[in-house]
């Protein structure tokens, strides 16, 4: 095995109300709206992206917000929790901030020698804030109302709920080259060696528990990084040779993607680091207008009539 996945690229989840989605991730969590576009498979629906200053790999939380979408059920075969990294000592600040903003939280937990604050977004999506050292490449967005000493720097990890541990552990360690890094009860940790945020995948073994169902408040897929298109093609060959049904390369405008489902049921993606979100907007204008890929530009007027109107965060310097 010569290739190794260096980290998480992005996590995509399903939301219901687009305005509520934008407000929570920008005004509550203090992330930057780095891209406002459409679902390339359903252009009558927004695709929102939130992250650090540029939405760099390891920081981008993305959503398909379908107005009126039914609530999903979190269970086995899903990414059940998405964790963001915050600086050591900042969970007290976050407890107070979330309380003042009316966001319920659970008690702080200790996990692998780190403190974890569980919470949920307005659709019930499970989130966590993990206090730890930020990745050196992190560039937190500091115009979202959260002080620098407490700001989210990107992802810390994702947690997969699995009915059977071994098949999911095998694809992570044997196919994707992710290193097993310890166990805590029914939780097994895997670590990647990249220099950006989001280098941990936890698998929580839950035999006999119900499987989840998709809908608002659930993760649609988790995407892992690969730096280049050539690397992605190598991954496509590796994954196909391992017996998985992997898609051809898909052009997602800001990155290129391949998709496959791991044995436990979670949809995995491998996405390229480039070209990135500044492809069609300068850094200072990211997320300030609806951007469409070239193949949808001729339909812009119709698409903009269909999309719900949004009030976007005020434009502030990056």
Answer whether residue 318 shows pLDDT above 60. Answer: no
User: What does the domain layout of the chain look like in residue ranges?
Assistant: 8-306
pLDDT tens sequence across 141-173: 999 999 999 999 999 999 999 999 999 999 999
Share of the chain above pLDDT 90, in %: 94
pLDDT band at 138 (very low <50, low <70, confident <90, very high): confident
pLDDT tens sequence across 93-122: 999 999 999 999 999 999 998 999 999 999
CA distance 294 to 291: 9
Answer whether residue 135 shows pLDDT above 90. Answer: no
pLDDT band at 315 (very low <50, low <70, confident <90, very high): low
Q: Give the phi and the psi of residue 183 in degrees, each rounded to 5.
A: -130, 145
Q: Give the phi and the psi of residue 196 in degrees, each rounded to 5.
A: -115, 170
Mean pLDDT of 7-15: 98
The CATH code of the domain at 8-306 is 3.10.180.10
Q: How far is Cα of residue 87 from the mean position of the Cα atoms in its chain?
A: 19
pLDDT tens sequence across 28-80: 999 999 999 999 999 999 999 999 999 999 999 999 999 999 999 999 999 99
Answer whether residue 316 shows pLDDT above 60. Answer: no
Mean pLDDT of 227-252: 97
CA distance 280 to 272: 17
CA distance 247 to 243: 12
* Burial of 231 from C-beta contacts in 10 A (0-12 / 13-18 / 19+): middle
CA distance 56 to 273: 8
Mode of pairing for the β-strands spanning 8-15 and 60-65 = parallel
- Cβ atoms 281, 253 nearer than 8 A: no
CA distance 170 to 102: 41
CA distance 96 to 14: 27
Answer whether residue 183 shows pLDDT above 70. Answer: yes
């Amino acid at each position: 095995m010569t290739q190794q996945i260096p980290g998480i690229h992005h996590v995509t989840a399903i939301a219901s109300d687009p305005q509520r989605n934008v407000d929570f991730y920008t005004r509550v969590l203090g992330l930057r709206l780095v891209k406002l576009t459409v679902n390339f498979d359903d252009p009558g629906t927004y695709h929102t992206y939130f992250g650090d200053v540029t939405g760099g790999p390891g920081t981008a939380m993305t959503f398909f917000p379908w107005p009126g979408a039914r609530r999903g059920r979190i269970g086995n075969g899903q990414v059940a929790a998405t964790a963001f990294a915050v600086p050591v000592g900042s969970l007290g600040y976050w407890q107070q901030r979330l309380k003042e903003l009316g966001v319920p939280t659970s008690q702080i937990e200790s996990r692998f020698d780190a403190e974890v604050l569980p919470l949920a977004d307005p659709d019930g999506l499970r989130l966590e804030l993990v206090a730890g050292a930020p990745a050196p490449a992190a560039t937190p967005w500091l115009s979202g109302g959260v002080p620098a000493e407490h700001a989210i720097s990107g992802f810390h990890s994702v947690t997969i709920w699995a009915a059977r541990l071994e098949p999911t552990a095998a694809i992570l360690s044997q196919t994707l080259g992710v290193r097993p890094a310890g166990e805590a009860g029914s939780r097994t940790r895997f670590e990647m060696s990249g220099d950006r945020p989001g280098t941990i995948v936890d698998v929580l073994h839950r035999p006999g528990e119900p499987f989840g169902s998709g809908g608002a408040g659930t993760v649609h897929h988790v995407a892992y990084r690969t730096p280049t298109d050539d690397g992605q093609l190598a991954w496509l060959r590796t994954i196909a040779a391992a017996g998985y049904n992997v898609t051809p390369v898909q052009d997602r405008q800001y990155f290129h993607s391949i998709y496959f489902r791991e044995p436990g049921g979670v949809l995995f993606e491998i996405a390229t680091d480039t070209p990135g979100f500044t492809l069609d907007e300068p850094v200072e204008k990211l997320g300030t207008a609806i951007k469409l890929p070239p193949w949808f530009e001729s339909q812009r007027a119709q698409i903009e009539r269909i999309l719900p109107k949004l009030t976007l965060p005020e434009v502030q310097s990056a």
